[in-house]
Amino acid sequence: MDDKQVAFCPFCGKHLIRLTPICGFCGRSLAILNATAQTEEPAVTGTSQATVSQQPVNAKRTDKHLPSYKQFLDYRNSKSNERQSYSYGGRHRAKERKHVQINIGTMVRHETFLKPLRGRTLPLFVDPDIEAPDILSKAVQKMRTFHQDTPEGTYVLLYPDCSEVIHVPGSERPFKLAEYKQELGRPYSRITFFICLERHFQAVESDSDSEIVLTSRSSAEFNQADTVVFEPQNQSTPQNIPEHERDAPGHSSTIQPGQIVISDAEDMDRPETNPATTSCYSNYTDLYAPDVEDMDEDLVAVDVENLEHTAVEEMNITLPDIVANLSLPIDHKRVSRFNISRANVWDGAVRGFKRTTYTEKCDMLVRFTDDAGVFEEGIDTGGPRREFFTLLMRHLKDRPIFDGPDGHRFLVYNAKAVREDEYFMAGKMIAVSVVHGGPGPHFLSEDLVQYLAGQPSFKSTVNAITDEEIRTVLREIENAASLDALQECIMRHSTVFQTAGCLRHVTSVEEKKDLVADYVR
């Protein structure tokens, strides 16, 4: 073997100084290397002619080179990987990340809000640690693959409540699917996102509540009263309008472009056609009618008896008239939106009423959603709003600030409700429900209503108190036979009376009735 030639053991990779039958490091046979070396050595014996004659044969044999060092390293690495695959158990192998299934849909602009398209929901398999931009790109790609009519353009990723997916809801952390799933508390298969064209999303965002006008027929006629010549009828519609056009629902000459005129024919009974019957609206036109009489006309005699009769009628105002007067300040050109989940009506109502942008003088637009956050079909023309107030009154009845039997519930003290200002919120909800056409709190006790109204007919007894401990204390006060026993009982239960704000010093036994009456009130 030539000194310039380098050889390596094909089994252990050690460098061989000289070619031996056996490797001195691993003990493996090197017969294959010896056979290759013998074929490469030229014949030394014989004449130069013999040497020349053997050169072509040797030249052919030298074409078979020894394995190169790079080939040897590749071979050794492959064998090492093969051995490692059999050396370790399954628990030492790296776990493959499994993809999870979520759902994607499409939202489009429908008038002044976004609406999900039916039949466009597709499953999407993604990594749990995926972020919002990656979900958006994959969702758009799959939607275009299965729906060729998907329009071109820039898309945004939205939650079911039509808000853009940027942060994890309720935090400032960047969105990640795994964190969102943990906060939502639902399996991946029940998580749904929507893609929406950016121009549709921005158009809906730019539409402020002040630009949306919901005008009913009665309010349209009300707005018309200041723009037409006064006529002594129970309506302010000009005479030049044909009768069939005048009776058409939603007709008004003062309706501006962009207004949504909604007929009240479906939501309330039609008024009687008797011309003698007057309404709040006709009273308004009679009171605020412009003076069209000439100043030069003679004075007309006034019937004093008719004036007195009219004054008596004005004093006998009814409850519907009071509610109608309270609803006059409502601005029907602006709305406050309420997106209410049927599974959690109370929390949705509290969030809506506590918004800084909410005002009672705006009209209300209520939309219901299911558990998946998908909006129900339809436009709120009064029905969803009344249904919302009906459900709200049912939930309000079961709040801890009320106690007592059904139909006769009264207010009780609750420390948590005081901290969360729930008493004020309950009163606000009741007032808004009554003024906006919803039901009243029919679950309250008649005595409580009389007391809140300041009526002297409030009479309640100790038996109406549901708390057994407090009822026992009040009965003990009523059964006190002497002044000392009464004072001792008051001092023993001073905390109860101090909490109710009726703790006092008594000087006679007869004052026990006033003490009990104050506590019951």
| pLDDT value of residue 287 | 47
| pLDDT value of residue 103 | 93
| pLDDT value of residue 40 | 52
Handedness of CA 12, 16, 19, 25 (dihedral sign): negative
| pLDDT value of residue 297 | 40
Claim to verify: residue 40 and residue 123 sit in the same structural domain: no
Half-sphere exposure of 350 (CA within 13 A, CB side): 14
Please state, as a whole number, how many other Cβ atoms lie within 10 Å of the Cβ of residue 502: 16
Query: pLDDT tens digits, residue range 211-234?
Result: 444 444 444 444 444 444 444 444
Confidence of residue 165 (pLDDT cuts 50, 70, 90): very high
| pLDDT value of residue 66 | 64
**Assigned domain for 80 exists:** yes
**Assigned domain for 213 exists:** no
Half-sphere exposure of 190 (CA within 13 A, CB side): 10
Judged on CB neighbours under 10 Å (0-12, 13-18, 19+), 494 is: exposed
Question: Could you give the angle at the alpha carbon of 138 between the alpha carbons of 133 and 140, nearest 5°?
Answer: 95
**Assigned domain for 315 exists:** no
Distance CA 11, CA 25 (A): 10
**Average pLDDT over every residue of 137-144:** 92
Considering only CA atoms, which of 349, 340, 344, 394 is closest in space to residue 369? Answer: 340
Per-residue three-class SS string for 192-261: EEEEEEHHHHHHHHHCCHHHCEEEEHHHHHHHHCCCCCCCCCCCCCCCCCCHHHHCCCCCCCCCCCCEEE
Cα Rg of the chain (Å, integer): 45
**Average pLDDT over every residue of 406-411:** 80
| The length of the chain, given as a count of residues | 521
Claim to verify: residue 363 and residue 442 sit in the same structural domain: yes
pLDDT higher than 60, residue 313: no
pLDDT higher than 70, residue 367: yes
Reduced DSSP (H G I as helix, E B as strand, rest coil) percent helix, strand, coil of the chain, to 5: 40, 15, 45
Distance CA 255, CA 216 (A): 10
Confidence of residue 47 (pLDDT cuts 50, 70, 90): very low
> Does residue 136 contact residue 120 with C-beta atoms inside 8 Å?
no
Spell out the residues 6+ positions from residue 251 whose beta carbon is closer than 8 angstroms to its own.
217, 220, 241, 245
At which residue do the structure tokens 């309270």 appear? 326
The two three-digit tokens of residue 277, written as one number: 């019957």
Claim to verify: residue 71 and residue 29 sit in the same structural domain: yes
**Average pLDDT over every residue of 296-311:** 47
Query: pLDDT tens digits, residue range 182-207?
Result: 888 889 989 999 999 998 888 887 65
Half-sphere exposure of 411 (CA within 13 A, CB side): 18
SS3 at position 409: strand
The DSSP H or E segment spanning 173 is none
Q: How many domains does the chain fold into?
A: 5
Query: pLDDT tens digits, residue range 435-478?
Result: 888 888 888 877 777 777 777 665 667 766 767 778 788 888 88
Claim to verify: residue 338 and residue 445 sit in the same structural domain: yes
Claim to verify: residue 112 and residue 193 sit in the same structural domain: yes
**Assigned domain for 352 exists:** yes
Q: Cα 445 to the chain's mean position, in Å?
A: 34
pLDDT higher than 50, residue 250: no
Q: Which residue has the higher pLDDT, 387 or 52?
A: 387
Least confident of 21-30, 273-282, 447-456: 273-282
| pLDDT value of residue 502 | 79
Judged on CB neighbours under 10 Å (0-12, 13-18, 19+), 437 is: middle
Claim to verify: residue 251 and residue 292 sit in the same structural domain: yes
pLDDT higher than 70, residue 296: no
| Helix and strand counts by DSSP (H, E) for the chain | 20, 13
Identity at 284, one-letter amino acid code: Y
Provide, rounded to the nearest whole percent, the portion of the chain with pLDDT above 70.
66
> Does residue 168 contact residue 131 with C-beta atoms inside 8 Å?
no
Whichever domain contains 122, its CATH number is: 3.10.20.90
Residue finishing a domain among 52, 87, 122: 87
Backbone angles phi, psi at 204, to 5 degrees: -70, -40
Distance CA 394, CA 325 (A): 26
pLDDT higher than 60, residue 43: no
Considering only CA atoms, which of 448, 447, 443, 400 is closest in space to residue 422? Answer: 400
**Assigned domain for 322 exists:** no
Query: pLDDT tens digits, residue range 59-85?
Result: 444 445 566 778 888 888 888 888 877
At which residue do the structure tokens 């302010």 appear? 236
At which residue do the structure tokens 């909410």 appear? 358
Claim to verify: residue 359 and residue 419 sit in the same structural domain: yes
The two three-digit tokens of residue 272, written as one number: 């009687």
Average pLDDT, the chain: 73
pLDDT higher than 80, residue 364: yes
Distance CA 322, CA 324 (A): 5
**Assigned domain for 319 exists:** no
Judged on CB neighbours under 10 Å (0-12, 13-18, 19+), 300 is: exposed
Claim to verify: residue 282 and residue 225 sit in the same structural domain: yes
**Assigned domain for 339 exists:** yes
Judged on CB neighbours under 10 Å (0-12, 13-18, 19+), 411 is: middle
Claim to verify: residue 299 and residue 405 sit in the same structural domain: no
Distance CA 478, CA 461 (A): 12
**Assigned domain for 123 exists:** yes
Least confident of 94-98, 149-153, 176-180, 398-402: 94-98
Q: Characterize the bridge pairing of strands 259-262 and 213-216.
A: parallel
At which residue do the structure tokens 């909006």 appear? 375
| Residues spanned by the domain of 237 | 218-309
Confidence of residue 26 (pLDDT cuts 50, 70, 90): confident
At which residue do the structure tokens 């609406």 appear? 115
